Amino acid sequence: MHLQTVFVLLVLSVITAESCDTETQYMKDNKCCMLCVPGTRMKFPDCNDPVCEECEDGAYQENYNKDSQCKRQQICDRNLNLEKQLQSKKKYTPCKCIDDHHCASVDCVSCVKNTVCKAGEKMTRNGTQMSDRVCEACPIGTFSDHDSALTCQPWTECSSGFTEVAPGSSTSNRICEVNKRLTIITPVVIFIALVMLMAVGLCVVYKKGRTGSISFVQKLQTCCTKHTHTHIAAEDNVYIEKENGQEQQPRNQPQEDTEDLLKLETSLVPGISENGLPVIQDHSKSFLFSETETEPESISVRL
């Protein structure tokens, strides 16, 4: 009976006991007391109204607490290639690696330099705070000539008229130059073509000269004949002018020849000669003039 009474009293005490908020309160002397908020520490404990103080720089409190000291942030040693991030007083803020470095371990207490993709390689994945840079060799037919290249460039193709003087590699491009044989052959071919054109032109001119030589001579003779006729016509005009002016007769028609012709015409009876024979008059020449013998003009044409 006595034991039953004790058990009932214990159950009633638990039921009647005050229940506390496990996140923001703590139990003290069967009473629920207040905790300090994150980012602060408890300077003076008081169950209902504790004195809380903000954590100093480089320290933090991430939960409600009744601690008298804040937790320390990680020390960022520059000699370990670490630097501070924007630290919070309410949570742990780890150091970060300096540029082009990554953590040497999971807890990142130090950092190491990222791998450098050398010439002949390309970067397939850049480094992060927790991982290294990944490099890959350039495929055949491509190259990279400097470190940390993002891509590999294709080799230059030597086009027509160019020859390869240096082959391409993973670190250098193919080198092409103008074909030296073409630089020599091209002027020679042009010169020969010009000589052939000149020869063909001269041949054509020569053949035209030979085939057209007769017509050329004829044209020259015609020109000279026209000149002679013009000269004779000019002399006739001078003769007419002199005749109108009652000057002496032209030298090509002497007075004696004219008188003989008149005597001959009067002495002959038309149709009968002096011997009584019939005569037929030649009408092919109406007049017969005596002309002074002159040497015929010679025309020489040099072809």
Domain residue ranges in the chain:
13-72, 76-87+94-113, 115-181
- What is the chain's mean pLDDT, rounded? 76
How many percent of the chain have pLDDT more than 70?
Answer: 60
Could you report the per-residue pLDDT of 104-117, keeping only the tens digit for each?
A: 999 899 999 999 99
Locate all alpha helices (DSSP H) within the chain, ordered by sequence: 2-16, 180-211, 213-244, 255-267
Q: Which of 43-52, 77-86, 267-276 has the lowest mean pLDDT?
A: 267-276
Superfamily of structural domain 115-181: Tumor Necrosis Factor Receptor, subunit A, domain 2 (2.10.50.10)
pTM of the predicted structure, to 2 decimals: 0.46
Cβ–Cβ under 8 Å, residues 266 and 225: no
| Fold agreement (13-72, 115-181) | yes
Torsion on CA atoms 61, 66, 68, 72, rounded to nearest 10: -20
Could you report the per-residue pLDDT of 173-204, keeping only the tens digit for each?
A: 999 988 876 556 667 778 788 888 888 888 87
CATH T-level assignment (fold) for domain 13-72: Tumor Necrosis Factor Receptor, subunit A; domain 2 (2.10.50)
Give, in order, the Cα–Cα distances in Å from 248 to each of 27, 98, 118, 240. 175, 135, 122, 11
Tokens 């103080």 correspond to 53
Could you report the per-residue pLDDT of 46-78, keeping only the tens digit for each?
A: 999 999 999 999 999 999 999 999 999 999 999
